[in-house]
Amino acid sequence: MLSKTKTQYAVKVMGEMFPDARPSLRAASPFQYLVSVMLSAQATDISVNKVTPQLFKHFPTAIEMAAATETAIQQDIHSIGLYRNKAKHIKATSQALLVNFAGVVPSNRQDLMSLPGVGRKTADVVLADAFAEPAFAVDTHVERVTKRLHMVPQKASVLEVEQLMMQKLPKEKWITAHHRMIYFGRYQCLARAPKCTTCPLLSVCLAGQQRLAKAK
Ligand code: SF4
C-alpha cells in the first residue's frame, strides 16, 4: 500500500496539475448547496447547474421548497436522473429543516444525516464546501483514484476509504485533497480509459504500470 509520505506526494502532484480544483456546483446558500448535492447523485455537476437557476428562482429557501408540490419540483429538475425520487427527498428534507432546524441547514454530520435522502457522502460534501468543516467525502472518482494508486486496500469500503485517507492526510488538507482527486479522476485517471502514458504519478502507481505492461 502507498505510504503516508507517497500518498501526500501524490495529492501534492494532483494539486500542481489542477491548481483550480474547487467545487463546481453553483449555489447561493447552504440550503441551495445541499439541494444541489442531492441532485448530483448519479448526475454530472454540469447538468445540475443547468437546472438549479430555475429551481432556486421558484423555491429559493427551505420555506418555499417545503410548500411546493413534488410535481412542481419535478418540472424544474426533470432532465436530471432519478428526478422523481430526488424531488420527493428535496421536499421532505426541506420540511424536516423547517420542523427540526428552524429552516437552517445544520453544520454537523449527525444532523445532516438525519435529513431524508442525505447520506454520509452528501453530508461530508456539504460540511466541507458550505461550512468549511474538515471532512473527506468519498465519491466514485475518489474511490477509484485511491484504489488505483493503492492508497487504500482494493476491498476497502467507502467508509474505510474515508477513514484511511483521513489518517494519511493532515486534517487541513482533507477538503482540498477531495477536490484535487475529483479533478484527477475526471481528467487524468478516467474510469474506462486512464491516461497512464501521460500520468505524472505513473512512477508510484502499480495499477498504471501493470496496465501499460499488459498493453506492450
Ligand atoms: Fe490512474 Fe494510470 Fe495515473 Fe495510475 S498511472 S493514477 S491508473 S492514470
Secondary structure letter of residue 78 according to DSSP: T
Task: Could you list the residues known to form a binding site, using ranges.
Answer: 189, 196, 199, 205
Taking CA atoms only, the protein residue closest to ligand 1 atom 1 is 189
- Using alpha carbons, select from 24, 80, 35 the residue that is nearest to residue 58: 35
Residue identifier of the C-alpha nearest atom 2 of ligand 1: 196
pTM, full prediction: 0.93
| Angle between helix 70-77 and 83-101 (nearest 10) | 130
Active site residue 45: no
Ligand 1 center to 185 CA (angstroms):
9
Q: How far is CA 125 from CA 79, 81, 164, in A?
A: 23, 20, 17
All 3 cell numbers of residue 175? 477538503
Q: Which positions make up the binding site for [4Fe-4S] cluster?
A: 189, 196, 199, 205
How far apart are the CA of 195 and the centre of ligand 1, in A? 7
Q: 138, 152 in Cβ contact below 8 A? A: no
Question: Does the beta carbon of 10 sit less than 6 angstroms from any atom of ligand 1?
Answer: no
Residue-level pLDDT, tens digit, the chain, 216 residues: 999 999 999 999 999 999 999 999 999 999 999 999 999 998 999 999 999 999 999 999 999 999 999 999 999 999 999 999 999 999 999 999 999 999 999 999 999 999 999 999 999 999 999 999 999 999 999 999 999 999 999 999 999 999 999 999 999 999 999 999 999 999 999 999 999 999 999 999 999 999 999 988
Tell me if 149 CB under 6 Å of ligand 1.
yes
- Annotated catalytic residue 139: yes
Q: Can you list the domains of the chain with their CATH numbers?
A: 4-20+138-209 (1.10.1670.10), 30-131 (1.10.340.30)
Does the beta carbon of 207 sit less than 6 angstroms from any atom of ligand 1?
Answer: yes
Q: CB of 194 within 8 A of CB of 144?
A: no
Instruction: List the residue whose alpha carbon is closest to atom 4 of ligand 1.
Output: 208
